[in-house]
Structure 1
Amino acid sequence: MTNRYAIILAAGQGTRMKSKLYKVLHPVLGKPMVQHVLEQVQVVGPEDIVTVVGFGSDKVKDHLGEACKFVLQEEQLGTGHAVMQAEELLQDKEGTTIVVCGDTPLITGETFQQLFDHHEKEGSKATILTAKAPNPSGYGRVIRNEKGNVERIVEHKDASSDELLVDEINTGTYCFDNKALFEALKEVSNDNAQGEYYLPDVIEILKNKSEKVSAFLTSNFDETLGVNDRIALAQAEKTMKLRINEQHMRNGVTIIDPENTYIQPEVVIEQDVVIYPGTIINGPSIIKENAIIGPNSEIANCEVGRDTVIKQSVATDSKIGERVNIGPFAHIRPNATIGDEVKIGNFVEIKKTEIGEGSKVSHLSYIGDALVGSNVNVGCGTITVNYDGKNKYLTTIEDDTFIGCNSNLVAPVTIGKGSYVAAGSTITKDVPTDALSVARARQENKEGYASRLKNRLKDK
């Protein structure tokens, strides 16, 4: 296999997006378009990836980090001019270079691989990635001769009536013999209405030198969508969402309503998981077999164990065990570890807390910065008072304890194994093992006081 290189064109401002956000940073399923492109290009294993940046270059660099090299296109003078900026890094290298736009987030690594393979098998100097468009209006047409070889690319506005009938279009993605690419770019002119240097002109230059130019026809037109406005952005989101959901369903996942389920590409979901509508699963989350997620739940960067149920809740950056029940309307905040067979009920918030096997926090409680043992029952309205305005402190609740309703556990504090905290208590000192702690004012009943109070109110 020859050496492979990649150039990602990501310098355009994207005025049609009508946004302060740099065009290629607009997200599709929560990830910037250009990052999708980079990750799929990486599938083919190029030795070097060069991203051409312009507007918003620092933000693009921040997102892509060290995964590629960067060159700056200071003036936006066309796609050919953009590729020229990579000349210093690539011009002397032997091999094949793919050029792809950073606003085409749907093209898969498999398609890139097929394009490379076709180009190298044909021994071409240039290969165009083409597709059959249901409505080719506005696209450049790929004109082939009787042998099926590419004769030229003709823009829509320049096409004859017969050429307009051609439905094979230029997607804007190419493979080139690397040295031939940069030699031809030296001959590209900006003698046109826009005064720009166009990359497709390289095709014509190579043809005039009797070099072989081929085309690889992808079977999936939807992959080639370029995002130039918010309408296309929504279409890209929908296409990628359904593609990912279909893959999971083929692998044995039940998705009740694929149109209303959003799963990012990194998510791993095992067989016999059931996902209800309105669910969003982000980041490198893992959902183990037989789990039930949703409806209307959001999971981000979590591991969810087998047979666990999460209903109408949010979980982030946490590990959730097996046979756990969460929700409805619970919030699992970062750095929580939920043990097996735990119950986290409605309107419960868990933050930076470890909860042991079989424990229950059933409703209307906040448990933060805590270590909760096994078989603990936390009553309704319990709060770990973990913050003094400057520092956070740890609450430890040992195994087999019972925390009564509406208790405040003022950290740092330890509730000993097997102990009871009476309802309505505010605990400020450690509770010994096997103790009952009552920390509330003694009840006093004043007979007849209610009537006297009512009479005073009437007299006012």
Structure 2
Amino acid sequence: MAERILAVVLAAGESTRMKSAKSKVLHTIGNLPMISHVMLALEKTGVEKVALVVGRDAAPVVQAASSGTLAVQPFEQKERLGTGHAVLAARDEIEKGYDQLLIAYGDAPLIGGAPLIEAVEKVRAGHDVAVIGFRTPKPTGYGRLLEKDGELIAIREEKDATAEERRVEFCNSGLMAIDGRKAAALLSKITNNNVKGEYYLTDIIEVVRAEGGKAATVEASVESVAGCNNRAELAELEAIWQRNRRHELMLAGVTMIAPETVFLSHDTEIGVDTTIEPNVIFGPGVKIERNVTIHAFSHLEGAYVTEGASVGPFARLRPGANLGRNAKVGNFCEVKKADIGEGAKVNHLSYIGDATIGPRANIGAGTITCNYDGFNKYETRIGADAFIGSNSALVAPVSIGDGALTASGSVITSDVPAGAAAFGRARQYVKEGYGSEIMARNKALKESKKK
């Protein structure tokens, strides 16, 4: 019979130091809520179900936690009486007879699956509890993990530690695994005999030791177990996550000219031999195939870019932008909900929205698809090998046929058949000498204002 693992995720904090109108676990790292990052890590551990302890913003917190594959059961923590009390908010689920219990925190988004799996393995090997810790040369403020003969004998809070214990650099992260068959009984024996009258989860080590049980430690990196309490720490976690993700992509074959200036989302996909120039931002939902060039100062969100395409510099791809093979969207162009066909070019200063651009079509500088009438959106269709003259305004719904041409400066309001040329501008009229008269009159008016 397969081992059953329950995870209890604590996400009921008031987020006071975050100074925010929403729960801190809903603040994002890589455009994904912190709580969702924790759930992704738990998916790697074999967890069967998550008991989510919630407080403020319960509904959106549950929604964010439920975005993955794990079954999530919310439990409300009505009072704030310490971490031990918070875990027991999920007592009904804990008592259902799981083999192992994992304790995690919704504001520790950088935790990977590896430390959690190692903690589970320690319990599987015969320990009652396995606590995940980290080492730091600046341990002030953290609880210390005190070991003897390879066993964890206590978690000592700094205010209660001796001078010798304060020199210990192995610190408590708060994450742990517990023997699921004993968890409810062990947690119930934690008392609140302390100054604050709270139930501290760390006291479980003393409970285990008093009953002749064994506790172990698992060492993780400082960064992987870092929590978040305020906006400054949020920025630090974002920087760590971005650095790690950039590193992964570069090792996978992506070139970044100035990686520290590139910002990614949790779901950004980039193929090998793609080059990312400086100051590029990837919003959610972007997939880049191989051998693509993203030039500097471009912003992409919800876009798909096919092999050999080129974007930017200073381009914006909004949701629904799909670039075909070897297509080009150049400088100061914006594309939204549009398919740009193979080899098509939108080179300069253009807006293409709600449109289909055929293969090898050329969109001249300053072209606009006028897709919105103030209430509804309409589609523009441009055929293969069409040539759209500079400064054309295509008033949707409208179709430009294969190989058709629109003259520069045209306003196109009717369909243009394949192979046709459309002129949507007033005929030019030249009045000899009239320009000089106008200039002289305007000059005289300016001089008169000086008197």
TM-score (norm 2): 0.91
Deviation track 1:358-413 (CA, whole Å, cap 9, x = no partner) reads 22222122222222222222222222222222222222222222222222222222
Specify the code of the residue in structure 2 equivalent to 1:54: G
Q: State the secondary structure of the residue aligned to 1:243.
A: helix
Q: CA deviation at 1:225?
A: 1.5
2:342 to 357, 373, 378: 357
Specify the code of the residue in structure 2 equivalent to 1:204: E
Aligned to 1:369: 354
1:143 aligns with 2:124: no
Q: State the secondary structure of the residue aligned to 1:84.
A: helix
- Relative to structure 1, is the Cα distance of residues 259 and 186 closer, same or farther in structure 2, using a 3 angstrom cutoff? same
Specify the code of the residue in structure 2 equivalent to 1:339: G
Q: State the secondary structure of the residue aligned to 2:93.
A: helix
Aligned length: 441
Separation in 1, partners of 2:26, 2:342: 42
Separation in 2, partners of 1:106, 1:282: 19
Separation in 2, partners of 1:355, 1:271: 22
Specify the code of the residue in structure 2 equivalent to 1:88: D
Name segments (4+ residues, structure 1) moved above 4 Å. Answer: 454-457
User: Matches of residues 140-219 of structure 1 in structure 2 within 5 Å?
Assistant: 140-145=143-148, 147-218=149-220
Q: State the secondary structure of the residue aligned to 1:368.
A: strand
1:96 to 89, 95, 100: 100
110-119 or 229-238, larger mean C-alpha shift: 229-238
Aligned to 1:271: 272
Separation in 1, partners of 2:208, 2:162: 23
Q: CA deviation at 1:12?
A: 0.9
Aligned to 1:106: 110
Specify the code of the residue in structure 2 equivalent to 1:201: D
User: Matches of residues 293-442 of structure 1 in structure 2 within 5 Å?
Assistant: 293-295=294-296, 312-442=297-427
- Relative to structure 1, is the Cα distance of residues 279 and 425 closer, same or farther in structure 2, using a 3 angstrom cutoff? closer
Answer whether contact 2:347 2:365 (CA < 8 A) is retained.
yes
Q: State the secondary structure of the residue aligned to 1:352.
A: strand
Answer whether contact 1:92 1:179 (CA < 8 A) is retained.
no
Deviation track 1:147-192 (CA, whole Å, cap 9, x = no partner) reads 2222212111111122122222221111111232211222222232
- Relative to structure 1, is the Cα distance of residues 248 and 44 closer, same or farther in structure 2, using a 3 angstrom cutoff? same
Separation in 2, partners of 1:448, 1:280: 53
Separation in 2, partners of 1:265, 1:391: 32
1:73 to 71, 77, 81: 77
Q: CA deviation at 1:284?
A: 5.1
169-178 or 243-252, larger mean C-alpha shift: 243-252
Which segments of 5 or more consecutive residues in structure 2 lack a partner in the other structure? none
CA-based RMSD of the aligned residues comes to 2.2
Q: State the secondary structure of the residue aligned to 2:74.
A: strand
Separation in 2, partners of 1:252, 1:375: 29
Answer whether contact 1:126 1:213 (CA < 8 A) is retained.
yes
Q: State the secondary structure of the residue aligned to 1:179.
A: coil
Aligned to 1:11: 12
Q: What percentage of residue pairs aligned between the two structures are identical?
A: 39
Separation in 1, partners of 2:197, 2:404: 81
Q: CA deviation at 1:455?
A: 5.3
Separation in 1, partners of 2:295, 2:344: 22
Deviation track 1:209-247 (CA, whole Å, cap 9, x = no partner) reads 1122222233x2321222223333233222222222222
Separation in 1, partners of 2:401, 2:288: 34
Specify the code of the residue in structure 1 equivalent to 2:82: G
Answer whether contact 1:52 1:72 (CA < 8 A) is retained.
yes
Separation in 1, partners of 2:259, 2:385: 43
21-30 or 84-93, larger mean C-alpha shift: 21-30
Q: State the secondary structure of the residue aligned to 1:239.
A: helix
Which segments of 5 or more consecutive residues in structure 1 lack a partner in the other structure? 296-311
2:133 to 130, 134, 148: 130
TM-score (norm 1): 0.89
Separation in 1, partners of 2:317, 2:204: 55
Q: CA deviation at 1:314?
A: 2.1
- Relative to structure 1, is the Cα distance of residues 85 and 397 closer, same or farther in structure 2, using a 3 angstrom cutoff? same
- Relative to structure 1, is the Cα distance of residues 203 and 439 closer, same or farther in structure 2, using a 3 angstrom cutoff? same
1:2 aligns with 2:9: no
Separation in 2, partners of 1:231, 1:268: 28
Answer whether contact 1:37 1:105 (CA < 8 A) is retained.
yes
- Relative to structure 1, is the Cα distance of residues 86 and 448 closer, same or farther in structure 2, using a 3 angstrom cutoff? same
- Relative to structure 1, is the Cα distance of residues 205 and 351 closer, same or farther in structure 2, using a 3 angstrom cutoff? same
Aligned to 1:307: none
422-431 or 77-86, larger mean C-alpha shift: 422-431
Separation in 2, partners of 1:436, 1:286: 37
Q: CA deviation at 1:330?
A: 2.0
Separation in 1, partners of 2:421, 2:407: 7
Specify the code of the residue in structure 2 equivalent to 1:210: G
Aligned to 1:57: 58
Answer whether contact 1:415 1:433 (CA < 8 A) is retained.
yes
Separation in 2, partners of 1:171, 1:454: 77
Answer whether contact 1:267 1:283 (CA < 8 A) is retained.
yes
Separation in 1, partners of 2:270, 2:376: 38
Aligned to 1:302: none
Specify the code of the residue in structure 2 equivalent to 1:149: E
Q: State the secondary structure of the residue aligned to 1:85.
A: helix
Answer whether contact 1:181 1:202 (CA < 8 A) is retained.
no
